[in-house]
């Protein structure tokens, strides 16, 4: 067993956090043994040749406000990729709010994914086990990246619930198609419309030049989030033509995507564009202050060798040069993480390069810091985390051999003798007959758990729409089970993609059955604002008295305040808000 986390001393992106450490029919839930991912192909997609895919000039054509688009059919599902929702952000448009795309004549092909935002190189592709599990495929980068993808059961004028997915990677990496798990086909088979999107990230999405460039760059620190707002405006204006209901839109995201959902809930410009929200392992409750963002911007200018009087040079230099300079600057400005104890995930932006800035206008307040945003009081929320987000056994075959003495040493090193022993006792009491290695991962993940529970409490305390809290506790069998319920482990279940993503789940009926329950809950929530359905035990809304939590595992159950004692001990030690 390695003495310290494999992922210490690296930038804390979604990936480094991760490594640091059902079917529903239109009328209701199908039997648990039937899932969307096991439904056989049939119908129009078969065609005379009996194939599963139809790509034709006369099939899968939909109208948008900019012109017609043609997608394709796969197993009777209409799929559109790379539809522009904004103009190119290159050149003079760099750092500026998104503009509408130009209209086109005729029918535009929408068969291929759009460009991903310019971003730093993907981390840990050379880590064999990590790359195997995640199967990253981020695609080509470019500044004409404001593109979205749609999966829909029909172009038939019906008003289906719409589920808009925001990808992870913090606010600095990723795309709407970088992982197999993001494929929305199986989720859409639950008779909903699924949308995913790309938006600006890192320096091209969140470099705040307002203190240097004045009004011309007033929005530059938040244009990445304004892109997401523009995508939601596209959904409002166009999704009815794709069989969706623009008055019933759910935004859901994981890790950095969850942080984007939380941010949207605090943005006045996003009000009314979505009606339900889901935050998965992404309770980022505090964003950047203007002072910090100004310090980061000055460091970027220095690395790029651009004077304050030459800001337009930042718009004309090749984007890869800008991204490289910004990455070097960020490493100099951001403090190194302290991996001797759980990190306060609610303050994620303060130790992860690039995030929105609380500017008093686009983002008037920190989302869910001391209170829930008033502007989204009427938006129901699902929020939660996995049991062992971080500190699991990637690249460490001896991980499960961790002795209890070493577990105690690590926790005491992080919290001191008295507080450390109290935290350890609380973890062991909540998880009896559990290995020291898994208890270590539970402890190392408490920062994410604290943030999720706190977000649920603030939302429930608002007295508006309800909050529903969960914990995903299913252990993956991959790599002899030493990854447990790792960061991102819940996503194949939400998307009903456990067979498609068998590198994460192992595939098979056990995972498929749980996927039916979880995806069914997400779909029911998207339709009604309440995740309860016949495949789950009753899932009560969160309140201060009971603090009810749905535990997702082979046997799902709702428990009252399962994290109470350990989070009290953690709060006494860490003094987190």
Q: Give the rounded distance of the alpha carbon of 8 from its chain centre.
A: 22
Residue 255 a catalytic site member: yes
Q: Are 101 and 66 in contact (CB under 8 A)?
A: yes
Beta-carbon contacts of residue 216 (< 8 Å; ≥ 6 apart): none
Q: Are 193 and 243 in contact (CB under 8 A)?
A: yes
Q: Are 514 and 475 in contact (CB under 8 A)?
A: no
Task: Using DSSP bridges, classify how beta strands 381-386 and 276-280 pair: parallel, antiparallel or unpaired.
Answer: parallel
Exactly one of 485, 487, 519, 573 is catalytic; name it: 487
Residue 450 a catalytic site member: no
How far is it, in rounded angstroms, from Cα 174 to Cα 375? 28
Q: Give the rounded distance of the alpha carbon of 183 from its chain centre.
A: 14
Total count of residues recorded for the chain: 577
How far is it, in rounded angstroms, from Cα 450 to Cα 577? 10
Q: Are 476 and 483 in contact (CB under 8 A)?
A: yes
End-to-end CA distance of the chain: 34
Residue from 565, 427, 410 nearest 21 by CA: 410
Residue from 385, 358, 343, 344 nearest 487 by CA: 385
DSSP 51: -
How far is it, in rounded angstroms, from Cα 156 to Cα 191? 12
Residue 389 a catalytic site member: yes
Residue from 169, 225, 233 nearest 195 by CA: 233
How far is it, in rounded angstroms, from Cα 15 to Cα 24? 31
DSSP 562: T
Instruction: Using DSSP, state whether 219 is helix, strand or coil.
Output: coil
Q: Find the Cα–Cα–Cα–Cα dihedral 57, 59, 63, 69, rounded to 10°.
A: -50
Q: How far is CA 479 from CA 26, 442, 545, 553, in A?
A: 38, 18, 40, 19
How far is it, in rounded angstroms, from Cα 537 to Cα 502? 27
CA dihedral sign of residues 266, 272, 276, 278: negative
How far is it, in rounded angstroms, from Cα 199 to Cα 218? 19
Exactly one of 220, 255, 376, 519 is catalytic; name it: 255
- Tokens 């690039």: give the residue: 354
Residue from 332, 363, 366, 364 nearest 348 by CA: 366
Beta-carbon contacts of residue 200 (< 8 Å; ≥ 6 apart): 89, 117, 118, 145, 146, 206, 223, 224, 227
Q: What angle do CA 498, 278, 86 make, to 5 degrees?
A: 95
DSSP 158: -
Q: Which amino acids are annotated catalytic?
A: 255, 389, 487
């Amino acid at each position: 067993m390695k003495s310290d986390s494999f992922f210490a001393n690296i930038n804390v992106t979604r990936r480094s956090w991760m490594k640091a450490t059902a079917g529903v029919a239109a009328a209701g839930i199908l039997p648990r043994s039937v899932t969307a991912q096991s439904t056989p192909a049939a119908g129009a997609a078969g065609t005379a040749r009996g194939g599963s895919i139809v790509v034709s000039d006369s099939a899968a054509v939909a109208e948008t406000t900019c012109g017609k688009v043609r997608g394709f059919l796969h197993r009777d599902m209409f799929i559109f990729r790379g539809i522009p929702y904004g103009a190119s952000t290159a050149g003079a448009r760099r750092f500026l709010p998104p503009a509408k795309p130009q209209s086109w004549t005729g029918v535009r092909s929408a068969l291929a994914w759009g460009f991903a935002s310019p971003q730093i190189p993907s981390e840990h592709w050379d880590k064999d086990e990590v790359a195997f599990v995640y199967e990253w495929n981020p695609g080509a980068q470019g500044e004409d990246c404001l593109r979205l993808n749609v999966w829909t059961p029909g172009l038939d004028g019906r008003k289906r619930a719409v589920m808009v997915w925001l990808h992870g990677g913090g606010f600095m990496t990723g795309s709407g198609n970088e992982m197999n798990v993001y494929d929305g086909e199986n989720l859409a088979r639950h008779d909903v419309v699924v949308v995913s999107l790309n938006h600006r990230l890192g320096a091209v999405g969140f470099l705040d030049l307002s203190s240097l460039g004045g009004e011309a760059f007033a929005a530059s620190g938040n244009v990445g989030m304004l892109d997401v707002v523009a995508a939601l405006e596209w959904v409002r204006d166009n999704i009815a033509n794709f069989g969706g209901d623009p008055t019933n839109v759910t935004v859901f995201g994981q890790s950095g995507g969850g942080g984007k959902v939380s941010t949207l809930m605090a943005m006045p410009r996003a009000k009314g564009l979505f009606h339900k929200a889901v935050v998965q392992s992404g309770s980022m409750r505090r964003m950047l202050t203007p002072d910090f963002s100004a310090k980061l911007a000055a460091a970027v200018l220095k690395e790029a060798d651009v004077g304050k009087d030459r800001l337009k040079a930042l718009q004309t230099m090749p984007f890869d040069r800008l991204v490289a300079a910004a990455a070097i600057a960020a490493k100099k400005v951001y403090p190194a993480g302290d991996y001797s104890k759980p990190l306060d995930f609610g303050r994620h932006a303060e130790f992860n390069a690039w995030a929105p800035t609380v500017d008093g206008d686009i983002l008037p307040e920190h989302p869910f810091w001391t209170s829930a945003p008033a502007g989204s009081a009427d938006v129901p929320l699902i929020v939660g985390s996995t049991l062992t987000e971080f500190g699991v056994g990637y690249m460490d075959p001896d991980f499960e051999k961790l002795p209890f003495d070493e577990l105690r040493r690590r926790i005491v090193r992080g919290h001191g003798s008295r507080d450390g022993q109290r935290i350890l006792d609380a973890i062991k009491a909540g998880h009896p007959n559990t290995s020291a290695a898994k208890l270590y991962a539970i402890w190392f993940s408490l920062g994410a758990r604290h943030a999720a529970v706190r977000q649920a409490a603030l939302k429930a305390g608002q007295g508006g729409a309800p909050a529903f809290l969960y914990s995903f506790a299913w252990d993956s069998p991959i790599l002899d089970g030493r990854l447990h319920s790792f960061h991102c482990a819940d996503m194949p279940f939400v998307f009903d993609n456990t067979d498609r993503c068998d590198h994460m789940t192992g595939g098979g009926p056990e995972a498929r059955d749980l996927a039916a329950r979880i995806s069914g809950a997400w779909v029911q929530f998207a339709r009604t604002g309440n995740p309860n359905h016949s495949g789950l035990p009753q899932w009560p809304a969160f309140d201060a008295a009971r603090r009810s939590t749905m535990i997702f595992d082979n046997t799902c159950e709702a428990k009252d305040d399962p994290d109470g004692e350990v989070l009290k001990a953690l709060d006494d030690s860490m003094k987190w808000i």
